[in-house]
Structure 1
Amino acid sequence: MSEHDPPTGTRLAVALEYDGSGAPRVTAKGIGDLAEEIIALAQAHDVPVDNDRALARLLSTLELDEEIPEALYRVVAEVLAFAYLIRASREEHDEEQPGE
Protein backbone atom coordinates (compact mmCIF):
# COMPACT_ATOMS: atom_id res chain seq x y z
CA MET A 1 0.00 0.00 0.00
CA SER A 2 1.42 3.40 -0.94
CA GLU A 3 0.90 6.74 0.80
CA HIS A 4 -1.70 7.47 -1.89
CA ASP A 5 -3.72 4.35 -1.18
CA PRO A 6 -5.34 4.79 2.25
CA PRO A 7 -6.92 1.83 3.99
CA THR A 8 -10.41 0.84 2.89
CA GLY A 9 -13.00 2.98 4.64
CA THR A 10 -10.63 5.90 5.18
CA ARG A 11 -11.84 9.12 3.58
CA LEU A 12 -9.70 10.64 0.86
CA ALA A 13 -10.31 14.12 -0.53
CA VAL A 14 -8.71 16.18 -3.28
CA ALA A 15 -9.85 19.70 -4.11
CA LEU A 16 -9.45 21.12 -7.58
CA GLU A 17 -9.59 24.68 -8.84
CA TYR A 18 -10.13 25.74 -12.43
CA ASP A 19 -10.02 29.41 -13.36
CA GLY A 20 -10.53 28.92 -17.10
CA SER A 21 -6.90 29.04 -18.11
CA GLY A 22 -4.46 26.16 -18.25
CA ALA A 23 -5.57 22.94 -16.60
CA PRO A 24 -7.33 22.45 -13.26
CA ARG A 25 -4.95 22.44 -10.30
CA VAL A 26 -4.88 20.50 -7.04
CA THR A 27 -5.52 23.00 -4.25
CA ALA A 28 -5.96 20.68 -1.25
CA LYS A 29 -5.67 17.00 -0.47
CA GLY A 30 -5.83 14.81 2.58
CA ILE A 31 -6.87 11.53 4.15
CA GLY A 32 -8.81 10.75 7.30
CA ASP A 33 -9.60 13.77 9.46
CA LEU A 34 -8.04 16.20 6.98
CA ALA A 35 -10.19 14.75 4.20
CA GLU A 36 -13.27 15.22 6.38
CA GLU A 37 -12.31 18.87 6.92
CA ILE A 38 -11.83 19.44 3.19
CA ILE A 39 -15.23 17.89 2.45
CA ALA A 40 -16.96 19.85 5.22
CA LEU A 41 -15.42 23.11 3.98
CA ALA A 42 -16.55 22.38 0.44
CA GLN A 43 -20.08 21.62 1.59
CA ALA A 44 -20.19 24.74 3.77
CA HIS A 45 -19.43 26.80 0.67
CA ASP A 46 -21.87 24.92 -1.58
CA VAL A 47 -19.06 23.33 -3.60
CA PRO A 48 -20.34 20.09 -5.12
CA VAL A 49 -18.53 16.95 -3.96
CA ASP A 50 -18.00 13.96 -6.23
CA ASN A 51 -17.37 10.55 -4.66
CA ASP A 52 -15.01 9.00 -7.23
CA ARG A 53 -12.45 7.33 -4.97
CA ALA A 54 -10.35 6.04 -7.88
CA LEU A 55 -10.04 9.55 -9.32
CA ALA A 56 -9.26 11.00 -5.89
CA ARG A 57 -6.54 8.38 -5.45
CA LEU A 58 -4.98 9.34 -8.81
CA LEU A 59 -5.23 13.06 -8.08
CA SER A 60 -3.72 12.60 -4.63
CA THR A 61 -0.42 11.62 -6.27
CA LEU A 62 -0.08 15.18 -7.59
CA GLU A 63 1.63 17.94 -5.65
CA LEU A 64 -0.34 20.89 -4.31
CA ASP A 65 -0.81 23.57 -6.98
CA GLU A 66 0.15 21.07 -9.71
CA GLU A 67 -1.98 21.01 -12.84
CA ILE A 68 -3.71 17.74 -13.62
CA PRO A 69 -2.01 15.66 -16.32
CA GLU A 70 -3.48 15.53 -19.80
CA ALA A 71 -4.43 11.87 -19.29
CA LEU A 72 -7.02 12.99 -16.71
CA TYR A 73 -8.52 15.90 -18.69
CA ARG A 74 -11.60 14.01 -19.84
CA VAL A 75 -12.61 12.56 -16.48
CA VAL A 76 -11.92 15.81 -14.64
CA ALA A 77 -13.90 17.72 -17.28
CA GLU A 78 -16.84 15.41 -16.54
CA VAL A 79 -16.53 16.12 -12.81
CA LEU A 80 -16.32 19.88 -13.43
CA ALA A 81 -19.34 19.74 -15.76
CA PHE A 82 -21.24 17.90 -13.02
CA ALA A 83 -20.21 20.55 -10.47
CA TYR A 84 -21.30 23.42 -12.74
CA LEU A 85 -24.62 21.69 -13.40
CA ILE A 86 -25.27 21.20 -9.68
CA ARG A 87 -24.32 24.80 -8.91
CA ALA A 88 -26.58 26.16 -11.67
CA SER A 89 -29.44 23.99 -10.44
CA ARG A 90 -28.99 25.29 -6.88
CA GLU A 91 -28.88 28.89 -8.06
CA GLU A 92 -32.02 28.40 -10.14
CA HIS A 93 -33.79 26.84 -7.15
CA ASP A 94 -32.70 29.73 -4.90
CA GLU A 95 -34.08 32.27 -7.39
CA GLU A 96 -37.42 30.45 -7.43
CA GLN A 97 -37.61 30.46 -3.62
CA PRO A 98 -37.16 34.12 -2.59
CA GLY A 99 -37.07 34.90 1.08
CA GLU A 100 -36.20 31.44 2.30
Structure 2
Amino acid sequence: MRPLLFASRMAFICNILFLLCLVIQRTHDFLPNKEISALVLLLGWMVAPVQNMVANFWYGLVLLSKSTIRIPNWIAIFNVVILLIQFFVYFILPS
Protein backbone atom coordinates (compact mmCIF):
# COMPACT_ATOMS: atom_id res chain seq x y z
CA MET A 1 0.00 0.00 0.00
CA ARG A 2 3.01 2.31 -0.01
CA PRO A 3 2.47 3.30 -3.68
CA LEU A 4 -1.15 4.23 -2.87
CA LEU A 5 0.06 6.43 -0.01
CA PHE A 6 2.54 8.12 -2.37
CA ALA A 7 -0.14 8.62 -5.04
CA SER A 8 -2.52 10.05 -2.43
CA ARG A 9 0.07 12.48 -1.12
CA MET A 10 1.06 13.58 -4.61
CA ALA A 11 -2.61 14.09 -5.51
CA PHE A 12 -3.04 16.10 -2.31
CA ILE A 13 -0.13 18.41 -3.18
CA CYS A 14 -1.32 18.83 -6.77
CA ASN A 15 -4.85 19.56 -5.54
CA ILE A 16 -3.54 22.30 -3.24
CA LEU A 17 -1.80 23.77 -6.29
CA PHE A 18 -5.07 23.45 -8.24
CA LEU A 19 -6.81 25.56 -5.59
CA LEU A 20 -3.93 28.05 -5.81
CA CYS A 21 -4.47 28.15 -9.60
CA LEU A 22 -8.09 29.11 -9.02
CA VAL A 23 -6.90 31.97 -6.81
CA ILE A 24 -4.35 33.04 -9.43
CA GLN A 25 -7.05 32.96 -12.10
CA ARG A 26 -9.18 35.38 -10.08
CA THR A 27 -6.42 37.75 -8.91
CA HIS A 28 -4.08 37.49 -11.94
CA ASP A 29 -0.59 38.41 -10.69
CA PHE A 30 -0.70 36.60 -7.37
CA LEU A 31 2.85 35.23 -7.61
CA PRO A 32 5.50 37.76 -8.67
CA ASN A 33 8.04 35.11 -9.74
CA LYS A 34 7.12 33.85 -13.22
CA GLU A 35 9.00 30.54 -12.86
CA ILE A 36 7.14 29.59 -9.71
CA SER A 37 3.88 30.72 -11.26
CA ALA A 38 4.57 28.53 -14.31
CA LEU A 39 5.31 25.52 -12.09
CA VAL A 40 2.14 26.08 -10.06
CA LEU A 41 0.07 26.39 -13.23
CA LEU A 42 1.58 23.26 -14.76
CA LEU A 43 1.08 21.10 -11.67
CA GLY A 44 -2.27 22.65 -10.79
CA TRP A 45 -4.00 22.67 -14.19
CA MET A 46 -2.35 19.74 -16.00
CA VAL A 47 -1.08 17.21 -13.47
CA ALA A 48 -3.66 17.60 -10.69
CA PRO A 49 -6.72 16.23 -12.55
CA VAL A 50 -4.81 13.24 -13.93
CA GLN A 51 -3.11 12.40 -10.63
CA ASN A 52 -6.37 12.88 -8.76
CA MET A 53 -8.26 10.54 -11.09
CA VAL A 54 -5.53 7.91 -10.70
CA ALA A 55 -5.63 8.14 -6.91
CA ASN A 56 -9.45 8.05 -6.77
CA PHE A 57 -9.61 5.14 -9.22
CA TRP A 58 -7.15 3.32 -6.97
CA TYR A 59 -9.34 4.09 -3.93
CA GLY A 60 -12.26 2.54 -5.80
CA LEU A 61 -10.28 -0.59 -6.62
CA VAL A 62 -9.23 -0.98 -3.00
CA LEU A 63 -12.82 -0.54 -1.83
CA LEU A 64 -14.09 -3.08 -4.36
CA SER A 65 -11.48 -5.63 -3.29
CA LYS A 66 -12.53 -5.04 0.34
CA SER A 67 -8.95 -4.82 1.53
CA THR A 68 -7.83 -2.39 4.18
CA ILE A 69 -6.62 1.03 3.16
CA ARG A 70 -3.77 2.51 5.15
CA ILE A 71 -4.01 6.15 4.30
CA PRO A 72 -5.54 8.88 6.42
CA ASN A 73 -9.25 9.24 5.72
CA TRP A 74 -9.02 13.03 5.46
CA ILE A 75 -6.63 12.78 2.48
CA ALA A 76 -8.99 10.44 0.63
CA ILE A 77 -12.02 12.63 1.39
CA PHE A 78 -10.14 15.79 0.38
CA ASN A 79 -9.06 14.20 -2.91
CA VAL A 80 -12.61 13.05 -3.70
CA VAL A 81 -14.06 16.51 -2.96
CA ILE A 82 -11.42 18.23 -5.09
CA LEU A 83 -12.10 15.76 -7.93
CA LEU A 84 -15.75 16.82 -7.88
CA ILE A 85 -14.67 20.48 -7.95
CA GLN A 86 -12.32 19.74 -10.85
CA PHE A 87 -15.13 18.11 -12.84
CA PHE A 88 -17.24 21.19 -12.17
CA VAL A 89 -14.48 23.63 -13.17
CA TYR A 90 -13.39 21.76 -16.29
CA PHE A 91 -16.71 20.53 -17.66
CA ILE A 92 -19.54 22.71 -16.34
CA LEU A 93 -18.06 26.22 -16.03
CA PRO A 94 -16.52 26.59 -19.53
CA SER A 95 -19.87 26.65 -21.32
Question: TM range, normalised to the smaller chain?
Answer: 0.3 to 0.5
Instruction: From the two aligned structures, give the one with the greater strand fraction.
Output: 1
Larger RCO, structures 1/2 (Cα 8 Å, 6+ apart): 2
Which TM-score applies when normalising by structure 1? 0.32
Q: Which of the pair is proportionally richer in helix?
A: 2
TM-score, normalised by the number of residues in structure 2: 0.33
